Chain A
Amino acid sequence: MATQHSRAAARFMIAPSVIVLLLWMAVPLALTLYFSFLRYNLLMPGENPFVGWENYSYFLTDPAFQTAIVNTLILVLGVLFITVLGGIGLAVLLDQPMWGTGIVRIMVISPFFVMPTVSALVWKNMFMNPVNGLFAFLAGTFGMAPFDFLTQAPLASIVGIVSWQWLPFATLILLTAMQSLDSEQLEAAEMDGASAWSRFWYIKLPHLARAITVVVLIQTIFLLSIFAEILVTTNGGPGTASTNLTYLVYAESLLRFDVGTGSAGGVVAIILANIVAIFLMRMIGKNLDA
C-alpha cells in the first residue's frame, strides 16, 4: 500500500545508499574534471594554476593518443570477434550430449575464475616467453626459431590473452541460450528436411541473436578498460604498440606524474566510452525489443 507516508518512509530508508553512491561517483568525477583544467605535475610542486583547455590540447595532439585509440579499437573488436565466434562454436559443441559433460563444462568455464594479472603472468612467462615458454619449446622441437610474441606482436598477443579470459563468459551465456531452444523446433526443422548446417544457420543462430548482443554489450564495457593484462605483459610497449586509452591515462598521471593531463585523458575516455555506450544501447535495444 503506497500511501504518502510509506513513500516518504521508503525514500528516507534508501537515502543512505543513494547518498553514498552519489558521493562515490560524483566526487571522483568532479575532482577529475577539476584537475583536468589545472597545470598539476607532481614533479613540479608549487602553484597549480588554472590553464583552461591546455591539458586537453596536449593529450589530444599527443601522437600516442591516436595510437591508443586505434589499439583500443583493435583490442575490443579483436576480442569480440574471437570470443563470439569461439563462444558459438563451443556452445554448439557443449550442447551435444556426451560423456563427462559436467566436468568439461567446468573446465571450459574455469579461465574466467583466474584473475587477469595472474593469467597474464602465466601467459607471459610460461607460454610466450621466448626462452622458457611452451611455445618456444614447441617451435624448437620443430626446428624453428622461437617467436617472441610480446615483442614482435604485442597487441595480437594481448588480444589472445584477453580472448582466452573472456571466451568462457561468451560460451556460458551462449550455451544457456542454446539450451533454452525448444527441441521441437529442431525436430520440426529436421522433418522439414533441414540439414545439420541449415538447422544451425536458420534455427539455432537466430535463436542466439539476443544472447550474442548481450555478450557484445557486456564485453565491450569491460574490454574498453583493459589494463592489468597490458601492465603485466608489455607495459604498453614496445613504444606505444600496445598502449590503449586506459593505459595511456595511467602513463600520463602515474609514470609522468602529470595529474592534469592524466585527468584530461580520463575525461576524454569517459566521453568516448559514453559515445560507444549510446550507440551500443541503440543497436541492442532494437534487437532486444523484437
Chain B
Amino acid sequence: MGNITLEKVQKKFGETEVIPPLDLAIEDGEFVVFVGPSGCGKSTLLRLIAGLEDVSSGEIRIDGKPATDLPPAKRGLAMVFQSYALYPHMSVRKNIAFPLKMAGLNAEEQNKRVERAAAVLNLTDYLDRRPGQLSGGQRQRVAIGRSIVREPAAFLFDEPLSNLDAALRVGMRLEITELHERLKTTMIYVTHDQVEAMTMADKIVVLRAGHVEQVGSPLELYRNPRNLFVAGFIGSPKMNLMTGEHAARHDCTTIGVRPEHMRIVEEGGTFTGRIIVSEHLGSDTFFHVEIPGMDEPMTVRADGEIGLRHGDTIHLEPEARQIHRFDEKGLRLA
C-alpha cells in the first residue's frame, strides 16, 4: 500500500544542484528517518516526495504508480509540518475535518472520523478549542490528527518535534512510535537529531549535501558506519577519530573508537592524558581527556560513580574489537 520508490531523482534550484541524482526505496509500513546536518537536503527530499517541490529530473513512484507529475493532494500522502501549520481561525474539530471536507465527505462521516482520530490522540476534550488555546504538544497532536483522518498511504514528518521542549519531545517521540506500531503505515520522518533517528527508525537514511551516505537499520549504522561522516554523525557523544601513528598501527589512515568503547585502566594503556572536563549525568560520566600530541580532546564514557575528577590523569585502552578503521578516502575498511 505505501511503498515509495525514488529513481535518479534530482533537484536543482537554478544552477545549484541541491540533490544530485538519488535512488531510494521505501517499503510498505516502514518507519524511515532522513537524518543529516542542516542544509543537507533532507527537507527538500521530503518536499519532493510530498509534491510541494517539483523534481528537476528522475521519477517518483508511490504504490508502484508514477507520481512524479501528480499534485500533492493526489499522491495520497499526509504531512506534518515543523510549525504544525494548523489553521488558526478554525477549531480543532474543523482543522482535523478540513481534509475530509475538501474530499467532499458528508458531515456525518466527517464527524465520525474526527471523533475516532481525536480518541486515538487524546484530543476529545479539546475539539472545540482554537489552536491558539492549545499547548505545543497538543498542537502537534492536532497536526497528526489532521493527517491520519485521510488514511494516507504514507505520513511525512518534517522535523515535527523541534519546536517542543525536551521533556515533551521524548513523550511525543514515544507517541509517534506507538502510532506507527498501531497504524502500520509507512512513515518518513525528517530530523537533524540523531537520537530521534536511532530511537524511532526501522531504517535510517543519512544524508550529506544531498548525497545518501548510508542506508540501514539504526544498529547497522552504529556498528558498521560506511564512512567517517556516518561514524561521526551516528552515536552520542561523537566517536573519537584519530589519525597519524595511532592509525598507522592499525594499517589505516583513521581509526575511530566510540566513547563507550574506551576502557579506563589503572596503568599503562594506549592513551594517557589529563581530564579537562567531566560531565556527571548520574548514570554515566563523560570525561573529555586532553592527550599529548592530539588536536582534539578524547571523549570517554565511564560509570556514574567513578571517583575521577577534573585535572586527574587517566589511562585509556580501546576495546580491540570495537575499533573502526577507515582508509584515506574516509571509507570503512573491513
Main secondary structure of the interface of A (DSSP, over half): helix
Q: A89 interface residue, CB < 8 Å from B?
A: no
Interface residues in B222-278 by Cβ distance below 8 A to A read none
Q: Is there an interface contact between A206 and B102, defined as CB atoms closer than 8 Å?
A: no
Which residue, B72, B77, B85, has most C-beta atoms of chain A within 10 A?
B85
Q: Is there an interface contact between A187 and B102, defined as CB atoms closer than 8 Å?
A: no
Instruction: Tell me whether A209 and B73 are in contact in the complex, defined as CB-CB below 8 angstroms, given that A184-B83, A191-B78, A202-B98 are known contacts.
Output: no
Q: Is there an interface contact between A184 and B85, defined as CB atoms closer than 8 Å?
A: yes
Which residue, B82, B99, B103, B150, has most C-beta atoms of chain A within 10 A?
B99
Q: Is there an interface contact between B85 and A182, defined as CB atoms closer than 8 Å?
A: yes
Q: A189 interface residue, CB < 8 Å from B?
A: yes
Q: Is there an interface contact between A203 and B87, defined as CB atoms closer than 8 Å?
A: yes
Determine how close the nearest CB of chain B comes to the CB of A96; give it in whole angstroms.
17
Q: Is there an interface contact between A193 and B52, defined as CB atoms closer than 8 Å?
A: no
Main secondary structure of the interface of B (DSSP, over half): loop
Q: Is there an interface contact between A190 and B85, defined as CB atoms closer than 8 Å?
A: no
Q: Is there an interface contact between B102 and A188, defined as CB atoms closer than 8 Å?
A: no
A191 to B78, CA, bound (A): 7
Interface residues in B58-111 by Cβ distance below 8 A to A read 71-73, 77-79, 81-83, 85-90, 98-99, 102-103
Q: Is there an interface contact between A198 and B89, defined as CB atoms closer than 8 Å?
A: no
Looking at chain A, what size class is its interface with the partner chain? 10 to 19
Q: How many residues of B contact A (CB 8 A)?
A: 23
Q: Is there an interface contact between A191 and B72, defined as CB atoms closer than 8 Å?
A: yes
Return the contact of A185 from the options B50, B73, B79, B85 (Cβ within 8 A).
B85
A228 to B5, CA, bound (A): 68
Determine how close the nearest CB of chain A comes to the CB of B107; give it in whole angstroms.
16
Enumerate chain A residues within 8 angstroms of B150, measured Cβ to Cβ.
192-193
Instruction: Tell me whether A187 and B89 are in contact in the complex, defined as CB-CB below 8 angstroms, given that A192-B146, A198-B102 are known contacts.
Output: no
Enumerate chain A residues within 8 angstroms of B79, measured Cβ to Cβ.
187-188, 191
Return the contact of A193 from the options B85, B86, B99 (Cβ within 8 A).
B99
A43 to B102, CA, bound (A): 71
Partner-B contacts on A (CB < 8 A): 182, 184-185, 187-195, 198, 202-203, 206-207, 209
Instruction: Enumerate 10 A-B pairs (CB-CB under 8 Å) in ascending A order.
Output: A184-B83, A185-B86, A187-B81, A190-B52, A190-B72, A191-B78, A194-B73, A203-B87, A207-B89, A209-B89
Partner-A contacts on B (CB < 8 A): 50, 52, 71-73, 77-79, 81-83, 85-90, 98-99, 102-103, 146, 150
Name 11 extra pairs, CB < 8 A, besides A182-B83, A193-B150.
Answer: A189-B87, A189-B98, A189-B102, A191-B50, A191-B72, A192-B150, A193-B73, A193-B99, A194-B102, A202-B90, A206-B90
